[in-house]
Amino acid sequence: MLSPKKRKHSFFMLEELENYYLASMSTLKLKVLASAIAGLFLSTASAQITILASDLAAAGDTFRISTATGSINLTRTGADQVWNFGDLQAESQELLKYSSPIQSPYVIYFAGNSNLCQPESWINVPGNFISNPYTFYKSSAGSLILTGRGAQFQGLPIGLVLAQKDTMLKFPLRFGNEFASSFEGNVSLASIGSLSQSGRRQTLVDGWGKITTPLGTFDCLRVKSVVQEIDSIVFNGLEFPLPNNRTEYRWYAKGGKFPILEVIVPQNPLAGGTVIRYKDRYRPELNTSLSDLNGSRNFSIYPNPAQHKLELSGEFPSNTSFQLMDLSGKVLKEERLNGAQSSVSIGLEEFPPGMYLLKSQTANWEQVDRIVIAR
């Protein structure tokens, strides 16, 4: 049996061991908690990414793009940024489809020098003397090059092919990359005059981090391009230079195909206001039909000139009608959809070569295009 003194000593030893155990457990809990907090922080931190050509669009890709208006903060640059644009309010929406140049109205200009194209709803040419603009690209593993633009002038397709190309991106795209390119090209407007375009693009990958839009949150790179451009129109020997200087901001994500957000800030008031577009989900509340709220058509017609049939690609609601007319307005052929469709074919076999009008119409929208049949 232990003496009272030894029992007291043993009691104190047990008490010290217990206190040591409790202190060790508290320290362990704190370490576990700290590790959990660190893990949580790391799981939400931004990741610096690299964008490759495969992360951008290819022919056949289709996206829903929403357009918003208002001011937007573009000042945040640098590493590990957080861009929060989750409160953007979409005012219109379009279905944007990338295609091969052979599926565009301007195939005769771009089939040999480009492999990708897209319709452009944001391009606003002063005077509104052209319509249905497209942008054409040469996409490769090393770069994305803008090769020119097509449009309809007085209803006829024209193509402004850049002799000196506009390099928009170089791959792999990383934070801090910087590059520049100059571009120049012109196209004849028959006996009326000509249209030319020249300028310089200075591009910098000026930020990386996370971006939030109404579509979600993404790791991204931000690319800023300062474009100094002159679009010149020559009519009857008189030249009218139209400055089209602008700054373009685009946020790219891995596998995003289209920029998560793009903002075009023009310096010339005649070119319109700031354009804000972002990749989005389908929003039926916007009641998107053949055109967006700005009046830009949301479908394409190809080929034009055509031989045996016309192909129309886009979103066609039920009861859309199509009328093929001669230049006097006489209806030669009419078709009406019984249900919504994404593509329509119109046969032209029975009509001789020449110029015609194609009227596409819904209950609250109509568009008239000049169509050329050439065999």
- Token pair of 223 as six digits: 């690319």
Residue 322, pLDDT above cutoff 70: yes
Distances (CA, A) of 99 to 102, 105, 115, 243: 8, 11, 8, 29
Least confident of 169-173, 197-201, 230-234: 230-234
Q: What percent of the chain has pLDDT over 90?
A: 49
Instruction: Pick 123 or 103 by higher pLDDT.
Output: 103
- Given this model, what pLDDT does residue 330 score? 87
Q: What is the CATH number of domain 303-373?
A: 2.60.40.3080
Which of 216-230, 311-325, 345-359 has the highest average model confidence (pLDDT)? 216-230
Residue-by-residue DSSP string for 139-166: E-SSEEEEEEEEEEETTEEEEEEEEEEE
- Given this model, what pLDDT does residue 122 score? 58
Q: What is the mean pLDDT of residues 26-36?
A: 45
- Given this model, what pLDDT does residue 271 score? 63
Average pLDDT taken over every residue of the chain: 82
- Given this model, what pLDDT does residue 45 score? 58
pLDDT digits (tens, 9 = 90+) for 73-118: 999 999 999 999 999 999 888 888 899 999 998 999 999 999 999 9
Residue 187, pLDDT above cutoff 70: yes
Q: Where in the chain is the domain with CATH 2.60.40.3080?
A: 303-373
pLDDT digits (tens, 9 = 90+) for 232-279: 888 777 788 888 899 999 999 999 999 999 999 998 766 668 999 999
Instruction: Pick 309 or 329 by higher pLDDT.
Output: 309
- Token pair of 374 as six digits: 């050439």
Pairing mode of beta strands 341-347, 354-362: unpaired
The most distant pair of C-alpha atoms in the chain lies apart, rounded to whole Å, by: 125
Q: What is the mean pLDDT of residues 196-209?
A: 97
Indicate the SS3 state at residue 336.
Answer: strand
- Given this model, what pLDDT does residue 58 score? 94
Residue 18, pLDDT above cutoff 80: no
Least confident of 47-51, 177-181, 363-367: 363-367
Distances (CA, A) of 332 to 91, 306, 321, 352, 355: 37, 17, 13, 12, 13
Residue 63, pLDDT above cutoff 80: yes
254 secondary structure, DSSP code:
T
- Given this model, what pLDDT does residue 190 score? 72
- Given this model, what pLDDT does residue 79 score? 97
Q: What is the mean pLDDT of residues 167-176?
A: 97
Q: What is the mean pLDDT of residues 200-206?
A: 98
Rg (CA), the chain: 30
- Given this model, what pLDDT does residue 11 score? 40
Q: What is the mean pLDDT of residues 150-160?
A: 85
CA distance 277 to 262: 5
Q: What is the mean pLDDT of residues 357-366?
A: 80
pLDDT digits (tens, 9 = 90+) for 37-56: 444 444 445 679 999 999 99
The answer to whether the predicted template modeling score (pTM) of the entire model surpasses 0.75 is: no
pLDDT band, residue 298 (cuts 50/70/90) = low
pLDDT band, residue 364 (cuts 50/70/90) = low
Residue 300, pLDDT above cutoff 90: no
